[in-house]
Amino acid sequence: MDRTSPAYAAALAGSAQWDTARNEPYLQLPSFPDLRLIPYRPGIAGDLVALFNHHVVGKRLFTLPYPCVVGLRHTDGSMDRAFAEKMEADLIAKQAPVLARLRARREGQREGDDEGEVAWPFKALWSEAEGRVVGDIYLWPNTLEPVWDERGKMEGSGETQITEASVLALPPARQSWMIGYVLEPALYGRGVMSEAIGCVLHGWVRPVMGIGEVVAIIQDDNVGSEAVAKRNGFVYRREEVTPWPEEKGGGIHVNGYYTRDMRA
């Protein structure tokens, strides 16, 4: 499918589907029938260990464990099964009320069918053919940069210190959220992540969440991630300098701060 065509744009906008067997929503990648974005589910911890411990993926993740400790690989610094199982359990618990609301709305058990849902329940990129996680996309409220009003406070709140709660208290159109994404390197170069982010923005963020902005912070030498962002309309705004964890080599990493205005 021509990715510049109106038909492709419509496919991205209509990527939100419903899995009747599992009774849950998902985002279908239009060019890759095998791939969909799904909620976390029990039993994926092993997939997470394999994905996040890949040296190409793990070395760029600021907060997650990675096998490189002061230049040594495959040490006790790697993500272990217990860490992955906790991450799996935490995300399943966090997304449960969101999925419950979506199910109730679909089944006609609550009013407001046109009501938005300011939440992100599709963290795992799933291969139907292989039955495993091959990527990960996360969206969360942006607590780095607030939406200020003329009094120097967050618009719509009395807060001067920005928190997730104060972001979520704003009208959706005034909210800024962060996005992070990783993909199994075997799938690089095929446009998978570019399309997945397109599904995120046009199939969920704009029509369902209704938030005003999405932000990506990308390391300057990560040309693949930068290309994904630019293909999806993200614009470079400024440089961000980040002290890097010692267990991942330390030093200072220079990042680009990119934004995507969802109101445009």
Sketch the domain layout of the chain as residue ranges: 6-261
Instruction: Quote the CA–CA distance of 124 and 118 in Å, as a whole number.
Output: 18
Query: What CATH number belongs to 6-261?
Result: 3.40.630.30
**Which pLDDT score, from 0 to 100, does residue 67 have?**
46
Residue 174: CA count within 13 A, CB half-sphere = 14
Q: Is 16 in contact with 36 (CB distance < 8 Å)? A: no
Dmax (CA) for the chain in angstroms is 56
Mean of the per-residue pLDDT values of the chain: 84
Predicted pLDDT of residue 53: 80
- Cα 181 to Cα 132, 150, 152, 218: the distances in Å are 17, 34, 32, 10
Q: Strand 132-141 vs strand 213-219: parallel, antiparallel, or unpaired?
A: unpaired
What pLDDT score does 111 carry? 54
What average pLDDT does range 137-150 have in this prediction?
76
- Cα 221 versus chain centre, distance: 20
pLDDT digits (tens, 9 = 90+) for 205-248: 999 999 999 999 888 878 889 999 999 999 999 988 777 666 66
22 vs 72: which has the higher pLDDT: 22
Q: What is the pLDDT of residues 78-118, one digit of tens each?
A: 667 788 888 899 999 999 999 999 999 998 865 555 468 99
* CB contact set of 43 (below 8 Å; sequence gap of 6+): none
Q: Which of 34-48, 51-65, 218-232, 248-262 has the lowest mean pLDDT?
A: 51-65
Mean per-residue pLDDT for 13-36?
Answer: 97
The whole-angstrom distance between residue 195's C-alpha and the CA centroid of its chain comes to 13
Could you tell me which residue, 248 or 21, shows the higher pLDDT? 21
> Can you name the residues that pair with 219 across neighbouring β-strands?
255
Q: What is the mean pLDDT of residues 62-70?
A: 43
What is the arithmetic mean of pLDDT over 245-264? 80
What is the pLDDT confidence band of residue 58, given thresholds at 50, 70 and 90? low
Q: What is the dihedral of CA 45, 242, 218, 165, to 10 degrees?
A: 70
